[in-house]
Amino acid sequence: MTTIFLHPGKRLGSNYELEAIVGTGQFGQVWRARKLNPPSGATVALKVPLDPNRGEEVLMADGQYMLELPKHPGVVAVNWQGRIGAVWVVEMEFVNGIPLSKLMADEIQWSKVTFEDIIRWFTGVAEALAFLHGNEIAHGDIKPDNLLLDEASGRLKITDFGTSRRLTDNLIRTFRHAGAWAYQAPEIQQANQRGAVSDLFSVGAVLYHVTTGRLPRASIHELLTSAPITRPRQFNPEIPAELDAIIMDLLVDDPLRRLPNATSLCQRLQSLLPDTRLKTVPNLTPLPPGTGYLDQAATLLAEGKKEEAREAAASATLHSTGLIPALELYARLSDELGYADDAINAYKRLLTLERTAGETRRAAESQLADLFLRLHRYEAAETYVEAAIKVQPTSPLMLLKAAVVLGACTKLERALDLLEKILAEEPHNGAAMEKKMLVLWLLHRYEDAAQAARDVLMVMPDSELCLKRLVDYETLMGNRRRAEHYRQRLESLAR
């Protein structure tokens, strides 16, 4: 299969027109789209794989069970899935709202949230889970990212069913550690087993997070060793006592002793709603300033303990006066260890701080551009590459990254200008030459692209991309012998 570039205005067959990207996960992108066929003009959400060769199988799981279910107001409906050309597409109900995770990260919006809001939201989540479990489906990945706050109804709606499974017993076997570990039940991490009660643990973990600002277990080590969980009211005494009890009943490690089902959870939460004392969720009391956290992180890093160093750096951002170096270290370690979202948020926070020095700011912009590029989030990367290449002198590597991003955003002429700038300084830069050939091909300048491909082969004789393009070009021009020559060279690389 061939990876395609998606952009606003692009049509997928005669079925959909993409309007805007609304989210990116590990395997797929979610786009707001206009439905063309049947010609209704309806707005839908489309999930497509980032890489058809790698993510398609995962996306197929999204609609595997959900297509059979009736609609429910607390569950994002999956309407259809299938192949359009070379791309597997999952069509879902479009929810006009943001994930709970984004709301939690917005200090201004979160300051308006009350305990009554939280209880009402999660009563709805419990109703939706009761519906799913009643239809023999375990969600498997309840977390703030997968709870969308619908502006129209004011309720949280559960989405992303790529890890869902049929419930064939109280606990079912799963061979893929899908989901966010921070919210997963112990039986998933320790025994590769999960079921309806595993979803309830995840709800408890999310409730713990929204009421305390903390995770019940803040590291994978704590989760795997079943470290004791501190009662929420010890961090936030304003939490109603019964809500505290519900959360702790959800977070019992033994699934057989956990709150038994989503219906029970719904009933207990509903009993709290008439309580008029449920006021605005207070801000947590800031932790007292301390010293030594950043030094501890540096020591752990020198000992090769990167996971622990990352945790210490995270503590330093809360405790230490050295906020900027702590954020820099936390962002870098998060990126190295695969916590992409944490790295992105840390780099973004660095850019919002007035005290961040120019050199640090430029480094953060470059790292954000690189991160989004690796995640195939090209529209997000564009802002940062444009900022990074304004600083002179700009390295050829940064210019190359910018050209890739701009090309993916269909700004091909701009990408070509940057590649020409690289090649003016480094005429034999093979990577830039190869990208130039591809941009020329996308611009339908086939003759120029063919010459550029021949130039690349002088520097990089084994460039499969250029050999393939030359096979296509010579075939198109009717030069069978030349096409066969390049085809044989291509086949020899595969031996």
pLDDT (0 to 100) of residue 3: 54
pLDDT (0 to 100) of residue 86: 75
CB atoms within 10 A of CB 155: 20
pLDDT (0 to 100) of residue 27: 58
Query: What whole-number distance in Å separates Cα of residue 435 and Cα of residue 323?
Result: 39
CB 157 within 8 A of CB 76: yes
Query: What whole-number distance in Å separates Cα of residue 310 and Cα of residue 323?
Result: 14
Predicted TM-score (pTM) of this structure: 0.56
pLDDT (0 to 100) of residue 169: 35
pLDDT (0 to 100) of residue 401: 84
Query: What whole-number distance in Å separates Cα of residue 289 and Cα of residue 286?
Result: 9
CB 356 within 8 A of CB 364: yes
pLDDT (0 to 100) of residue 194: 62
Residue 456 Cα distances to 163, 181, 324, 430, 494, angstroms: 43, 45, 43, 6, 19
Query: What whole-number distance in Å separates Cα of residue 131 and Cα of residue 39?
Result: 32
Strand order in the sheet with 78-84: 11-12, 16-24, 28-35, 43-49, 87-93, 78-84
Residue 461 Cα distances to 383, 422, 442, 490, angstroms: 35, 21, 22, 10
Q: Is 97 helix (H, G, I), strand (E, B) or coil?
A: strand
Tell me the β-bridge partners of 16.
Answer: 12, 35
Helix residue ranges per DSSP H, 353-429 = 358-374, 378-390, 396-408, 412-425
Query: What whole-number distance in Å separates Cα of residue 406 and Cα of residue 418?
Result: 10
Rounded-to-5 percentages of helix, strand, coil across the chain: 55, 10, 35
pLDDT (0 to 100) of residue 170: 36
Instruction: Look up residue 119 and give its amino acid.
Output: I
Pick from 29, 31, 27: nearest CA to 15: 31
pLDDT 10s digits, 248-287: 999 999 999 999 999 999 999 999 987 645 565 655 444 3
**Per-residue buried b or exposed e for 311-322, using 16+ beta carbons within 10 Å of the residue's own CB:** bbbbbbbebbeb
Alpha carbon 102 to chain centroid, angstroms: 12
Q: ω before 393 within 30° of 0 (cis)?
A: yes
CB atoms within 10 A of CB 221: 12
Residue ranges in the chain modelled with pLDDT below 70:
1-4, 25-27, 51-65, 161-181, 188-194, 218-225, 275-293, 316-323, 353-355, 495
Q: Which domains does the chain have, with CATH numbers?
A: 11-94 (3.30.200.20), 98-270 (1.10.510.10), 427-495 (1.25.40.10)
Query: What whole-number distance in Å separates Cα of residue 277 and Cα of residue 408?
Result: 53
pLDDT (0 to 100) of residue 291: 38
| DSSP one-letter code for 129 | H
Pick from 347, 393, 341, 349: nearest CA to 366: 347
- Backbone φ, ψ for residue 218 (5° rounding): -90, 0
